[in-house]
Structure 1
Amino acid sequence: MSVQFYGWEVVDDGASYTGVLLEPSQRPQNRGVYTMYHGTSVASARLIIANGFKQSSSGMLGRGVYVSRDKKKAASYPKNSSSSNRVVLELRVRVGRVKRIDKDNHPMQLTWHTHGYDTAWVPPKCGMISVKSGMEEDCVFDPKRVTVVAIADAPDTIRTELQELLAKTSKKSGRGDGDSADVCPLCKRKTQQGAQHIKQQCWKCGQNLCILMSKHFCPGRP
């Protein structure tokens, strides 16, 4: 007895919509949007949420905003600080064009942006002496590419305050719930400003499908 299969299954690299996490060892795709993290102090978290990120003046990869897809990496900052003064911000990052920096004294380690790249990516366990933790790290040149979307971790005494500040700031800037008016009933992903996703019928079973669905299997037939 032969069994016929109709449908598809794809692997989402996280670049098509936010909320999907790639493993830190997977290279971020050019022009993708990813969930990343940034560790900072309580005082700095307030400023970042209220006013957005600012470029660091220097660092291993030069100027930019330092982030990571590895939450453990972000949770270790600020260095030499107690847990009561550490906050991890969850971010939406538009990486743009990405340059891999995977060795010490890389020729573009500090100049990648002048070569047309928007983000520098250091893969985990690449052997760079300057990355003692061996964890993944990213540097995004333009702070406008980085948006705070949630409080991933914070002391209990400050978490509610930061969440309320984030909600207030998001609403003021138009990034609150009102900015994503609908959810596609088929793929369950947020639509962009309420614009409906493109729908098609399966050529075999006739079921209505959204082109952004990651998986579809035709119902079994007798």
Structure 2
Amino acid sequence: MTAYTGQKLLDALDAHGLPDWQGLPACIGARFLSGDFATGLELVTRIGAAAEEANHHPDVTLTFPYVAIRLTSHDTGAVTERDLELAGRISELAASAGVVADPKVPALLELGMDTADRDAIAPFWAVLLTGDASNVSGPDVIDPAGQMPLLWFQDCEEHAVPHQRLHVDVSVPAAAAPERIRAAVEAGGTVVDEAQAPSFTVLADADGNRACVCTLENRP
């Protein structure tokens, strides 16, 4: 089964006609504006029935004004046709209930930590964040409960005096990235490096702490 990532995922969403959904790292997400809890609950019930029928189950968050959904195929660690097909069905259910999506809202927070010795610090962070030192997969600390953002480690050289070891990656829809960057600059930030934009743009706060606004556009 084809695993869609990066630009291929964005292209697949376009090809399947899924404007409600946005590509994020290893998943697709949508937020449907139910407006009230009862409407949202009814939509979730319908989505649950469709998921059972497809034998493929999304992560669903029900709140008073909206229903947020993420889809991924855990056996591949990426988005597959199963997710795209179920996403289309969910959009149909929302439309039949008179519920519209806000396609610029979905976002995913990741934490990136620079280190010259990932193996030395990964167990500590896995225990700290998840309570289990074994929750490390490749370069990532994974929270099986889905309560913590993904923490990943980026190789760097040793420094006699450590530089900033922790930065924040915020992944947003490509269409939303320019506004997010503009707002951050207006709030006192600066653009440090936009050579890799729109894949990612490096910003800094007034103290020099860095963070990246990321999208899947033009990524492999």
Category of TM-score, reference length = shorter chain: under 0.3
More helix by share: 2
Q: TM-score, normalised by structure 1?
A: 0.26
More strand by share: 2
Q: TM-score, normalised by structure 2?
A: 0.26
Max Rg structure: 1
